[in-house]
Amino acid sequence: MTSKLLSPFKLREVELPNRIVVSPMQMYMAKENGECTDWHLVHLGKFAVGNFGTVFTEVLCVEARGRSTYSDAGIWSDEHIPMLKKIANFIRSNGSVPAVQIGHCGPKSSRQRPYDGLQPLSSKDANKGEPPWEIVSCSAEPAAPGYAAPHALTESEVGEVVLAFGQAARRCNLAGFEVLDVHAAHGYLIHSFLSPISNNRHDLYGGNKTNRMRFALEIAEALRRNWPDEKPILFRLSCIDRFEGGLEIGDTIELSRELKKRGVDAIDCSSGGIKGPNSLFSLAEPPTPGYQVPLAAAIRDGAEMPTMAVGMIMTPAHAEEIISDGSADLIALGREALFNPHWGLHAAKLLNEGQTFDDWPPNMGWWLEVRQRMLSSTDPKDWRIGPAAANAPKRAQP
């Protein structure tokens, strides 16, 4: 039986070689000016070698003030393009589709790195050379307990951010990426406008659902003006807030339909992030493998558009089941990809009949094939490689 997970999938004119995706993951390894480095080339390149059909960068911030930390990657300047082009070219040369995520951290900007505490930057950080900066959001409400109150963007300032997203898309195209994803989840800037919990505005961008969606939809329109028609756009959404009075799945289905009208091709389905430092804060109990898959299934059915499932999907068999039963069209792995950068190659071996190393790059696969024969046969002739193997001298018997 042919694996659905390993089958190609087409979005607009871009064909993804399989349904396995490296999810965008912030790595906190960029230069202070937002430039990526050779570290990112190696980090993302290994996933292309590992048979992930699509490889996303971490979120590239559309403004310097939209960074979460001083080590976040950026796309607010043309100076960021050359290194990103090098990364995209390497991913493509190894058979994967280079993809990029852009975003603005909004009220969750100006923070410590997670392993330093994930708290707002303070005078102590300033003494270490990382002073806090002014943050912006939908409303002047802190994103989490103990966080700083952001500046509420004016209507004209909202328009400037929309333009920044459009210019970011232009730069991503110049860098050679083929798929674009927008981070509109986890309490970041776009999500802060969408959620009735965080949106306390009384103008064109606040109040009723239509106004709360306006910012996201204007961004989608700006992206389509600056991103080629033949290339797809995804939106990462927190499909539910997991708090009373917050976004519910019906709200996100409605938003997805409107995004679709504006040229968005698929929804990257996550959840949570409002009223806490990260997206796991709102969970009442530990997450289980695939805990967000029902969200992808609901959006796929309700909005009639492709979805990408995320959330502790760990085994090829589970990923295959999700694609086969129609719950989602793509599977995005984050932590599991970090744990096993060759996950895609292992999936090919496990799901294809015969379980050989034929799908592995030949410079790796032949080594592993020999090892497999060594483990399964005691006859040395089965281990040898090359035309000289047949004429190899017999070993002396003990």
Find the range with the poorest average confidence among 21-35, 47-61, 100-114, 361-375. 361-375
Number of Cβ atoms within 10 Å of the Cβ of 94: 18
Tell me which of 70, 188, 205, 291 is the catalytic residue.
188
Confidence bin at 279 (pLDDT 50/70/90): low
The amino acid sitting at 325 is: D
Between 36 and 364, the higher pLDDT residue:
36
Report the pLDDT averaged over residues 197-209. 96
Q: CB–CB of 255/216 below 8 Å?
A: yes
Q: Compute CA distances 250 → 181, 209, 267, 366, whole Å.
A: 22, 12, 14, 51
Domain 12-360, CATH class in plain words = alpha beta
DSSP string, 194-258: H-TTT----STTSSSHHHHHHHHHHHHHHHHHHS-TTS-EEEEEES--SSTTS--HHHHHHHHHH
Give the global pTM: 0.93
What is the average per-residue pLDDT within 22-42? 98
Cα–Cα distance measured from residue 74 to residue 191, given in angstroms and rounded to the nearest whole number: 19
Per-residue pLDDT for 389 more than 60? no
**Res 382: pLDDT:** 66
Which amino acid, 62? V
- Measured between alpha carbons, how far is 362 from 341 in angstroms, rounded to an integer? 17
User: At 338, which amino acid appears?
Assistant: L
pLDDT for residue 324 is more than 90: yes
**Rounded average pLDDT over 248-259:** 98
* 46 token code pair: 């290994």
Comparison of pLDDT for 364 and 378, the residue scoring more: 364
Q: How wide is the angle at C-alpha 167 spanned by C-alphas 132 and 202, nearest 5°? A: 65
188 labelled catalytic: yes
Q: Over pLDDT 70: what percentage of the chain?
A: 94
Query: Which of 327, 331, 374, 375 has the alpha carbon at shortest distance from 351?
Result: 331
- Compute the distance between CA of residue 150 and CA of residue 157 in angstroms, rounded to an integer: 14
pLDDT above 80 for 380: no
Residues 81 and 39 sit within 8 Å (Cβ to Cβ): no
386, pLDDT greater than 70:
no
- Reported as a pLDDT band with limits 50, 70 and 90, residue 287 is confident
Could you say which DSSP state residue 266 is in? E
Other Cβ atoms closer than 10 A to 388 = 8
Residue 290: its pLDDT value, please?
96
pLDDT in tens, 183-199: 999 999 999 999 999 99
- CATH 3.20.20.70: which residues of the chain? 12-360
Query: Does 385 have pLDDT greater than 70?
Result: no
d(CA 340, CA 346): 9
In the predicted structure, residue 395 carries a pLDDT above the cut 80: no
**What percentage of the chain carries pLDDT values higher than 90?**
83
Instruction: Output the CA–CA distances (angstroms, integers) from residue 390 to 90, 270, 379, 384, 395, in the order listed.
Output: 39, 56, 13, 8, 13
Q: What pLDDT shows up at residue 284?
A: 72
State the chain's mean pLDDT as an integer.
Answer: 93
Query: In sequence order, what are the beta bridge partners of 308?
Result: 268, 330
Q: What is the pLDDT confidence band of residue 356, given thresholds at 50, 70 and 90?
A: confident
What are the φ and ψ backbone dihedral angles of 121, each rounded to 5 degrees? -60, 140
